[in-house]
């Protein structure tokens, strides 16, 4: 008769414990085996993110930013901007005055105007995207007020916190004047950020409070704001400008203006393998692998396929990340931005406007004195045109950008 062994509770727990340890070790082994299967020449998909974390803490990368916008009634501006993805909060209040502690009863006589303070995640939405979205939801052509409300206290304004933001605003206004839907030039004020004073509690979230949302709905409908938005923008009320896809550098036609990207089968034959994987499959070259990373020659960087200008040597800096880095594109319309949710995080992808090639990502850890952004690009997606060759190769108009 076989011998019967009785296991006590402790024996059972020990066996379960070691079984779990063995299972965890097997999982780690299988994962390590899978991730080690890489060829040195192959692109990677996460080194750019890893290097970013090495050069700047994750807290810095995701640290919220603040900006001010004035667009008339702060109830309406707050309601609109809170609907934009990436915006964390919007507070109604008063800006531009000099006296402390303004109230709804005296802010006008103290020289304030109604404004909102926006807190946003720069990895989800950019400063310029918020500006575009705001401009589409107010009347930037009226310097004497906003819709039904008249007076300087309701006049629209865009605010900047540094010279880079001021340049972004001015370039956007110029772009709107040249290509936008309005019949007259924009008349919106461009002002340095001033002290912002939050409005009284009952003004916050006015559009959704039970006690005030009916009054808000009636006021907004009667003000003419929504009719104005529909007249000039229709359903195109998002944080992008449709005409930027049509022409990347103004009204002049260049050799790259009408570029049409070939089929992927053709591109596979035309491009080196790594360049194809990066630009068409959104992969990433290894850090320090591109000679353009340390290139200090004066000139411009263009799209490897279309030749459209993307960045200037004037805006290049050494980020010590291993990828060519810039503080901004060569023009405000040179690149487009796209939300990227790969790698269990949300980043802002950068693509060339005309060729629509993947270039890299933008991070909020660049030089603060130049706007705080780092356009981290794959060198294999770029072609460098030295200053001495620019005229001959059709880039003479961009010498002023060096």
Angle of the 74-81 helix axis to the 213-223 helix axis, nearest 10? 100
Q: How far is CA 353 from CA 19, 47, 392, in A?
A: 55, 25, 23
Q: Which of 311, 175, 195, 294 is nearest to 242 (CA)?
A: 175
Question: Does residue 76 carry a catalytic annotation?
Answer: no
Total Cβ atoms within 10 A of residue 160: 20
Are 139 and 180 in contact, with CB atoms under 8 Å apart? Answer: no
CA–CA separation, 6 and 77 (whole Å): 74
Token reading at 236: 């195109």
Catalytic residue among 61, 68, 69, 73: 73
Question: Does residue 73 carry a catalytic annotation?
Answer: yes
CA–CA separation, 300 and 314 (whole Å): 9
Q: Which of 283, 293, 337 is nearest to 319 (CA)?
A: 293
Helix/strand/coil for 341: coil
Contacts of the segment 224-232: beta carbons below 8 A, 24+ positions apart: 224/147, 224/148, 225/72, 225/73, 225/76, 225/137, 225/138, 225/139, 225/146, 225/147, 228/139, 228/147, 229/136, 229/137, 232/181, 232/182
| Angle at alpha carbon of residue 101, lines to 95 and 103, rounded to 5° | 80
User: Which class for 266: exposed (0-12), middle (13-18), buried (19 or more C-beta within 10 A)?
Assistant: exposed
Token reading at 133: 């979205």
Catalytic residue among 115, 116, 376, 380: 376
Helices (H) and strands (E) in the chain, counts: 11, 17
**Catalytic residue IDs:** 73, 376
């Amino acid at each position: 008769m076989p011998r019967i062994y009785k296991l006590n509770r402790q024996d059972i727990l020990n066996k379960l414990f070691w079984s779990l340890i063995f299972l965890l070790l097997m999982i780690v082994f299988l994962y390590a085996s899978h991730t080690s299967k890489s060829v040195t020449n192959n692109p990677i998909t996460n080194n750019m993110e890893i290097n970013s974390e090495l050069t700047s803490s994750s807290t810095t990368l995701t640290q919220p930013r603040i900006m001010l916008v004035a667009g008339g009634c702060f109830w309406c501006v707050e309601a609109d901007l809170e609907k934009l993805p990436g915006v964390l909060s919007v507070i109604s209040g008063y800006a531009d005055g000099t006296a402390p502690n303004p109230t709804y009863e005296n802010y006008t006589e103290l020289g304030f105007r109604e404004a909102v303070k926006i807190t946003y995640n720069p990895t989800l939405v950019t400063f310029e995207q918020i500006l575009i979205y705001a401009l589409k939801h107010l009347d930037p052509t009226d310097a004497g007020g906003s819709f039904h409300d008249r007076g300087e206290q309701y006049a629209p304004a865009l605010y900047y916190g540094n010279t880079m933001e001021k340049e972004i605003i001015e370039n956007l206004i110029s772009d709107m004047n040249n290509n936008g839907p309005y019949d007259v030039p924009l008349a919106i004020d461009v002002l340095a950020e001033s002290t912002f004073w939050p409005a009284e509690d009952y003004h916050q979230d006015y559009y959704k409070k039970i006690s005030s949302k009916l009054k808000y709905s009636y006021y907004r409908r009667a003000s003419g704001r929504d009719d104005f938005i529909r007249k000039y923008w229709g359903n195109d009320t998002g944080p992008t400008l449709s005409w930027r896809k049509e022409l990347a550098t103004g009204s002049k036609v260049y050799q790259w203006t009408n570029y049409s990207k070939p089929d992927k089968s053709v591109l596979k034959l035309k491009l080196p393998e790594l360049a194809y994987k990066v630009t068409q499959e959104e992969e990433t070259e290894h850090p320090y692998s591109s000679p353009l990373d340390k290139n200090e020659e004066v000139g411009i960087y263009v799209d490897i396929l279309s030749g459209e200008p993307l960045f200037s040597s004037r805006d290049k800096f050494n980020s010590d990340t291993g990828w060519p880095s810039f503080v901004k594109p060569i023009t405000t319309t040179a690149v487009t931005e796209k939300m990227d949710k790969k790698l269990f995080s949300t980043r802002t992808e950068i693509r060339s406007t005309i060729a629509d090639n993947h270039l890299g990502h933008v991070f909020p850890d660049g030089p603060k004195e130049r706007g705080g952004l780092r356009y981290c690009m794959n060198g294999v997606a770029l072609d460098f045109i030295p200053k001495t060759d620019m005229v001959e190769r059709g880039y003479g108009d961009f010498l002023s950008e060096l």
